[in-house]
Amino acid sequence: MSERPSHSTKGGMRRFLDRYAPPAIVVVITIALWELIIQVFDVPTYIWSAPSLIAKTMQEEFSDLLGHAWVTLSEALVGFFFAVVLGLAFGFLVHFSTIARRGLYPLLIASQSIPTVVLAPVFVLVLGFGIWPKVAVVALFCFFPIVVGTIDGLMGVDREYVRMMLTLDATRMGIFRRVEFPSALPQIFTGVRVGATYAAIGAVFGEWAGSQAGLGWQMLQAKGRLDTALVFADIVFITVMALGLFGLVSLVERLTIPWARKGGLT
Amino acid sequence: MSSASAPASTATIDLRGIHHRFGELVVLTGVDFTINRHERLGIVGPSGCGKSTLLSAIAGLIQPDEGTVAIDELTTAEQRLRRCALMPQRDLLLPWRTAIDNAAIALENRGMKREQARERTRPLFERFGLAEFEERTPAELSGGMRQRVAFLRTLMAEKDILLLDEPFAALDSITRSGMQEWLLSALEQEPRTVLLVTHDVDEALLLTHRVIVMSSRPGRIVRTLETDLPRDRPRREVVTSPGFAHLKESALEALEL
């Protein structure tokens, strides 16, 4: 319904280009300009690196980068997993229990005024230098959008559906399983998608607070050596990781709730 | 307010002195009536006259501030909830379920396995002109089709009392006429005790045995009409007959229209 009629007559390839060609062109032009400015003004490589140099560094250091990326990705995935499980569990608790809603929900909102980043060193002190302080930072980063998505999704369920289900002999659990949870899924996925983009950044923050490996650690090392191109290479890897996680969640979303794209509840 | 033309004599629903308010707003006052078993009762009235509140009270979704609602002597809200199925104005079909899974939801709510619930619902799709639409999602159905599925869902609750809250108000008038005939034949096949709330006088007169006209807020009963119209005639003959015109005039007069 949101598409103009002319789109329906176009082929899949045409639609793909319509959608992705404009941003791709912008990216290509930006990179070209960047390269040109660096070359023309002869900027020293330790201040700012040309895309060509970054690409070369990525090629040369690829296996090293990949090894560190794997460390960061593990931290991000484990932390993200905990955030999803805890976010859903907390959301369900607040939905089902009036006590939790009145006692915990305001505190949860208030807790967001604590900058998560500053807690990273505390986690290192408590949890040591292994994977767990990073996991904790990631989980804390991702938890909030997921729990808010879950709670808002469950609270936003149309009461008329619940009334109808009550006259159709539904139990509290039946209403939750057949109406409330599915209808909250689009909003839950929105929260999970936002959380997924935070996961990689959360892992990098965790590594900055203390670590022996990972893209964040490598970045700090490269900065110390004034190896700016490697810093950029790390940024590229972190960005790709964040986009990948975002894309993965979007894919799962498309497969799980195909009906949501046709307008959701009536 | 006794009814002469009811199809059976056992009283099933009995309302006495219903009075209900939302805060300061009195929505229902002094409402009494009885509905007999397998009788179809229509309630017409202006918007905001408390028709829907009345349905909620009968269904056991709310307990009125004053007065009693009894279904076969049972007066608690929980007991009533077990006897009534509600069909709302919006179809409220769940988009993640196919038509047949939507219609079978009450069976699943009672603990039946999905496959078994589907098998039990399937014959109804054939009987009521929905064969081959079983696996469609609600988004793939027309408004009239969706409303039929919503009605089958209400039937599949296997309750003896159906509460229909403006079931066709969201449809265009041509679709609505078709749906009224369809509902009439469905109810002739599957007789139930029916309460039909509507603001469409024609619809109430066509589909029910008796029509209660309610005043604007606070809602109370201003007239009761026995609709002894022939049910076996085509709709256009009925709505153009002098008997129908007379009843309609009387209802409109009571509505002060």
Q: Which fold has domain B11-254?
A: Rossmann fold (3.40.50)
The answer to whether residue A211 scores a pLDDT higher than 90 is: no
**B-chain residues within 8 Å CB-CB of A266?**
90-93, 95, 138
Dump pLDDT digits (tens) for A90-116.
Answer: 999 999 999 988 998 888 888 888 888
Contacts of B107 (CB under 8 A, 6+ apart): B116, B117, B120, B121, B156
Q: Give Cα B227 to chain centroid, integer Å.
A: 16
For the sheet with B40-44, list strands across it: B84-87, B161-165, B193-198, B40-44, B210-214, B221-226
For A210, list phi and psi in degrees, rounded to 5. 150, 115
| Cβ separation B90–A259 shorter than 8 A | no
pLDDT at A3: 40
pLDDT at B1: 35
pLDDT at B127: 83
> Residue A24 CB: number of other CB atoms within 10 A?
11
Q: Which of A161, A183, A262 sits opposite B139 (nearest CB)?
A: A262
pLDDT at A262: 61
The answer to whether residue A151 scores a pLDDT higher than 70 is: yes
**Cβ(A203)–Cβ(A123) below 8 Å:** no
Dump pLDDT digits (tens) for A22-62.
Answer: 999 999 999 999 999 999 998 888 888 899 999 999 999 99
Give the residue on B whose Cα is nearest the Cα of A185: B96
pLDDT at A265: 56
Q: Rounded CA gap, A253 and A185, in Å?
A: 9
Q: Label the pairing between strands B40-44 and B193-198.
A: parallel
Per residue, what are the HEC states of B192-211? CEEEEEECCHHHHHHHCCEE
**A-chain residues within 8 Å CB-CB of B88?**
160, 163-164
| Cβ separation B56–A163 shorter than 8 A | yes
- Average the pLDDT over A6-17 and give the result: 70
The answer to whether residue A5 scores a pLDDT higher than 60 is: no
Contacts of A76 (CB under 8 A, 6+ apart): A138, A199, A200, A202, A203, A241, A245
Dump pLDDT digits (tens) for A77-86.
Answer: 999 999 999 9
Distance from CA of B243 to the nearest CA of A (A): 37
Residue found under tokens 């808002």? A152
Q: Rounded CA gap, B121 and B154, in Å?
A: 11
B47-51: which pairs have CB atoms within 8 A and are 24 or more residues apart?
A: B47/B199, B48/B216, B48/B217, B49/B214, B49/B215, B49/B216, B49/B217, B49/B219, B50/B20, B50/B214, B50/B217, B50/B218, B50/B219, B51/B165, B51/B197, B51/B214, B51/B219
For the sheet with B66-71, list strands across it: B25-36, B11-22, B66-71
Q: Which of A161, A163, A167, A168 to mutate to test binding with chain B, by most B CBs within 10 Å of its CB?
A: A167
**B-chain residues within 8 Å CB-CB of A179?**
94
**Cβ(B131)–Cβ(B87) below 8 Å:** no
Give CA angle at B177 (B172, B179), nearest 5°: 90
Distance from CA of B106 to the nearest CA of A (A): 5
Distance from CA of B123 to the nearest CA of A (A): 20
Locate the domains of chain B by residue range: 11-254
Q: Rounded CA gap, B1 and B200, in Å?
A: 22
A-B C-beta contacts closer than 8 Å: 71
Q: Nearest CA to A143 among A164, A119, A165? A: A119
The whole-chain average pLDDT of chain A stands at 90
* Touching B: A residues 179-198, CB under 8 Å: 179, 182-183
pLDDT at A124: 87
* Least confident range of A17-26, A121-130, A145-154, B227-236: B227-236
Distance from CA of A254 to the nearest CA of B (A): 13
Question: Which residues, given as ranges, of chain B have pLDDT below 70?
Answer: 1-11
Q: Does A249 touch chain B (CB under 8 A)?
A: no
